[in-house]
Amino acid sequence: MIIDSHGHYTTTPAPLGVYREAQKAALKLDPAHIGTKGVIAISDDQIRESLEANQLQLQKQRGTDVTLFGYNISVHWCLKAAEILDKQYGISAEVVDLYSLSPLDRDGIRKSVSKTHRAVIAEEDEAPVGVGSEVIAIINEECFFELDAAPVRVHSALVPQPYNHTLEKAAIPDHEDVVKAVLKLFGKA
């Protein structure tokens, strides 16, 4: 099933939480698609095992100061934010694409945060229903004492998603919001 969570015809974010919660479901986004298109596989145990055997996240860019986690369109925000952070502020950001949302790569999340000691999770979803909540839970449970600052989420405003372009831009985050979140972590905001 292909989901376009931010296409030309609709601005409503994809209900990824619905698919993530489906029993025996494996949710794997296809990074080959440009923009926010992803492939969701509702699968049996055999496909789940093959997912677990593979790498469940893709490291898009190496960094040492902060880890930026994203999926779908937010990976692009993170990459653009990492470029700005490096050029304008001298902050080296590692960008991680959460390629599989179910199951999440707990070990990969832990390794990256243990290396950089700071984390920002960017997503198009609203905070209460987004994957970022689970990523922060993993960080807090498994590498709390590795952190130099509390993890920060960048997410959509908790409002009905508007269809007006100007209001949509105000409700949905972008790379500038990711930059602001990182600067907040470093006390430069």
Q: How do the domains of the chain map onto residue ranges?
A: 55-185
Q: If DSSP codes are grouped into helix, strand and coil, which group holds residue 46? A: helix
pLDDT of residue 34: 37
pLDDT of residue 10: 39
Q: Exposure of 132 by Cβ count < 10 A (0-12 exposed, 13-18 middle, 19+ buried)?
A: buried
pLDDT of residue 6: 45
Question: pLDDT band at residue 29, thresholds of 50, 70 and 90?
Answer: low
The average pLDDT across 12-26 equals: 48
The average pLDDT across 139-157 equals: 94
Whether the per-residue pLDDT at 152 is higher than 50: the answer is yes
More confident residue, 6 or 72: 72
The DSSP symbol for 88 reads I
What is the spatial distance between Cα 169 and Cα 174, in angstroms, rounded to a whole number?
8
In whole numbers, what is the pLDDT of the chain averaged over residues?
A: 77
Give this prediction's pTM. 0.73
What lies within 8 Å, CB to CB, of 104 at 6+ separation is 56, 98, 131, 134, 135, 138
**73 Ramachandran zone, left/alpha/beta (phi>0; psi -120 to 50):** alpha
pLDDT tens digits along 89-121: 999 999 999 877 778 888 889 999 999 999 999
Question: pLDDT band at residue 59, thresholds of 50, 70 and 90?
Answer: low
What lies within 8 Å, CB to CB, of 72 at 6+ separation is 5, 6, 14, 29, 35, 36, 37, 38, 124
State the CATH architecture for 55-185.
3-Layer(aba) Sandwich (3.40)
More confident residue, 34 or 81: 81
The Cβ-side half-sphere exposure at 21, using a 13 Å CA radius, reads: 8
**82 Ramachandran zone, left/alpha/beta (phi>0; psi -120 to 50):** alpha
What is the spatial distance between Cα 102 and Cα 187, in angstroms, rounded to a whole number?
33
Q: Which two tokens stand for residue 186?
A: 């470093």
pLDDT of residue 84: 97
pLDDT of residue 17: 52
